[in-house]
Structure 1
């Protein structure tokens, strides 16, 4: 049945009683888009099972199709036939950082001209380090940010590149994902402040190895800090099942925390490279009870009156910051979130946006160069703006679950990683739910 139109701004549901629910999440965006890209450069066809169907992943599928791959997205399992890389193409990045950054290094293998553009907000996000690296490798690139164009010759020699990946781990992952298809492989060296979100690079390395690619990484015994090498060779076709998106679990587990309820996330993996797995430790530190159960992971919350503040460096898990900051604004003791200056370059300047929007609802927030200081305060209703950022929308609905009268502007931006998030979220309030 077609969902009714979503009001804008959307009245966020208020949890007047503890919420009890069991939730099946869509697949991981990070895993889905890496899997699709590797399937498109593999040595044969493969299937990506339980792929996330969202705007970002459909943009990735469309980008790969423009380069000559066949991606059948009709069902839950997406069949991929590798790309031919022979035609001119136009790539719409939308708001997907993985499309803007991951696709150019493989588009450089094309014999055609490949043009990239995206939504207006996307033009503010950094990609220059990837384009500079490609130029170093001999690729003809016009432009230093969206829009930009690659003029392919059908091959990339490969070799050594030095980049500053302090703004995004995706710069490293983008190059590593394509490196095996370059004639001499790739030697990526980082020079700059520490790379954020290292678990995402570890995810890339693990997936490459599962495809038979030889990768040397800093975390290996004897590995060299800030250096990754990829040997040239085939990318083996692999059928892959996608894990639930653990970062998307943040608002649902936060709902248990603020309502004093209990939420189970089904099929939570016991071993994973997803940064969202850090939610287990974060929520425990804030006073929640966290345990593996037969169905997945269960979180029982203390409720807003007993929720503890958090002092934590979120450098490696910056994408969790909006949801965690919202929880901290509802906590009974102060919080200090640090190591997250790099999230100023995400879909929006998330530090400034969080300070502004939480503050507008009464939160006591001090914005710092690389973090947020949040003190207990009485919150009130109002409009929470999202800046076309799905994680900001998550922060808004978390506040709305504990505070009357919160209106979330453009909640539909959550379709980036979770189609129909708003009705799904609203269905959790009231009687125990199976969602």
Structure 2
């Protein structure tokens, strides 16, 4: 059980870091891979999956619906792998989403295909996170859902064994996961699905591209705006998916604090197996951190990032890579010039209100951060030690650890919340510094 009040003394670097850090698999790829394998026409493998709170919640939820997931080694006898065996989906069942956006949004369409009622519940914060786009869309596509009119959890999806599907309009401006949720299951709807986004700016487009690429790799026919189709319209044709043997990439967003450590200490960090081509938003770190004063080299070994000891401010639109904002903000607070982070108003609806939390916590250490309509204005100031609260948000915790590298006396509240996507972060952090725990 996580101790939500425990304070972790963030270690301060005694000099430039020099380390190789192996980052576990991508949460986004793991959870999409689990859903697609569960809905496939034949068994498949998921190799090097991330084992974290969010992915364990996804696997357990699929098991409650009847999917077989066997954990062991791969078919060649090496490395951790999960064997996913599709089965008839059924209720009654209860899904615990925790505070995982992928679970609370990707699985209601799956539940609509099950035979019987499926109740969704989770952490108190999950009740506050937007789900209306998925709920309204599923009702328009023929699903029966009881959410007491909240547009949020808890709720029950009354699966009828199939779903009509067809065309639907949604406002996904608060989360790109609304689009991905419908696309991932759309091939199983009787008429497929046509998703038309009709709201404001659509955030986190790389995650939608990831969904599309993974669907196509599994044999689905997907028409997208990028392929010359209509703007903000995606179509998935009904049809069976192949069972895949999928190797999960390292989670590039989870590499952020380690790369940032090289930047702020003037050191060097290598992340093995960094893919040459990927849809992960974390790949943008190469350009973002280079603009903030470092340099990187991508080789067959992986990505090596080197800091110069000088950190520059940045003016950046992070709308497509919003999850990187906490780490960018922490680095910006240590820069030698001001930074403006834009395009991330949707972060107010994430695990916590990330913009308010970053402002409050960096300022609590002596910083000067101001919220804007869609982001943050950060004016570097000399920082001092203190408690950095995390609000049960894994990316707040890693941001606090990063500040602690160069600011003595920072104590991170509930560093264990990083288990959501990065198990044993604290141990990895100490290992990077050569300290061992």
**Same fold at TM > 0.5:** yes
Per the TM alignment, residue 88 of structure 1 is displaced from its structure 2 partner at its CA by 1.0
Matched, 1:96 2:100: yes
Matched, 1:271 2:269: no
SS in 1 for 2:190: coil
* C-alpha separation in 2, matches of 1:128 and 1:228: 19
Q: Please say if residues 21 and 432 of structure 2, whose CA atoms lie closer than 8 Å, have aligned partners that are also in contact.
A: no
Which residue number in structure 1 is paired with residue 225 of structure 2? 218
* Aligned counterpart for 1:168 among listed residues 162, 175, 182: 175
Matched, 1:261 2:267: yes
* C-alpha separation in 2, matches of 1:375 and 1:216: 44
* C-alpha separation in 2, matches of 1:130 and 1:294: 40
Mind listing any 5+ residue stretches in structure 2 that lack a counterpart?
74-79
Equivalent residue runs for 1:17-28 within 5 Å: 17-28=15-26
Name the CA shift for 1:377/1:166 in 2 (closer, same or farther; >3 Å).
Answer: same
Which residue number in structure 2 is paired with residue 375 of structure 1? 379
* 1:113-158 Cα deviation digits (max 9, x unpaired): 0000001111111111101101111111000211000011111000
* C-alpha separation in 1, matches of 2:70 and 2:423: 18
Equivalent residue runs for 1:119-158 within 5 Å: 119-143=123-147, 144-158=151-165
* C-alpha separation in 1, matches of 2:245 and 2:135: 31
Equivalent residue runs for 1:24-423 within 5 Å: 24-75=22-73, 76-143=80-147, 144-220=151-227, 222-303=228-309, 306-423=310-427
Mind listing any 5+ residue stretches in structure 1 that lack a counterpart?
none
Per the TM alignment, residue 6 of structure 1 is displaced from its structure 2 partner at its CA by 11
* C-alpha separation in 2, matches of 1:328 and 1:316: 19
Runs in 1 of length 4+ with deviation above 6 angstroms?
A: none
Deviates more, 1:334-343 or 1:86-95: 86-95
Q: Please say if residues 20 and 432 of structure 2, whose CA atoms lie closer than 8 Å, have aligned partners that are also in contact.
A: no
Q: Please say if residues 328 and 374 of structure 1, whose CA atoms lie closer than 8 Å, have aligned partners that are also in contact.
A: yes
Which residue number in structure 1 is paired with residue 433 of structure 2? 429
Q: Please say if residues 4 and 392 of structure 2, whose CA atoms lie closer than 8 Å, have aligned partners that are also in contact.
A: no
Deviates more, 1:156-165 or 1:79-88: 79-88
Per the TM alignment, residue 7 of structure 1 is displaced from its structure 2 partner at its CA by 8.7
Q: Please say if residues 387 and 412 of structure 2, whose CA atoms lie closer than 8 Å, have aligned partners that are also in contact.
A: yes
Aligned length, in residue pairs:
427
Per the TM alignment, residue 73 of structure 1 is displaced from its structure 2 partner at its CA by 2.8
Name the CA shift for 1:158/1:7 in 2 (closer, same or farther; >3 Å).
Answer: closer
Q: Please say if residues 4 and 413 of structure 2, whose CA atoms lie closer than 8 Å, have aligned partners that are also in contact.
A: no
Which residue number in structure 1 is paired with residue 76 of structure 2? none
The TM-score normalised by the length of structure 1 is 0.96
Deviates more, 1:170-179 or 1:138-147: 138-147
Per the TM alignment, residue 389 of structure 1 is displaced from its structure 2 partner at its CA by 0.4
Per the TM alignment, residue 294 of structure 1 is displaced from its structure 2 partner at its CA by 3.6
What RMSD in Å do the two structures reach over aligned CA positions? 1.5
Name the CA shift for 1:7/1:155 in 2 (closer, same or farther; >3 Å).
Answer: closer
Q: Please say if residues 95 and 119 of structure 1, whose CA atoms lie closer than 8 Å, have aligned partners that are also in contact.
A: yes
Deviates more, 1:112-121 or 1:420-429: 420-429
The TM-score normalised by the length of structure 2 is 0.96
SS in 2 for 1:112: strand
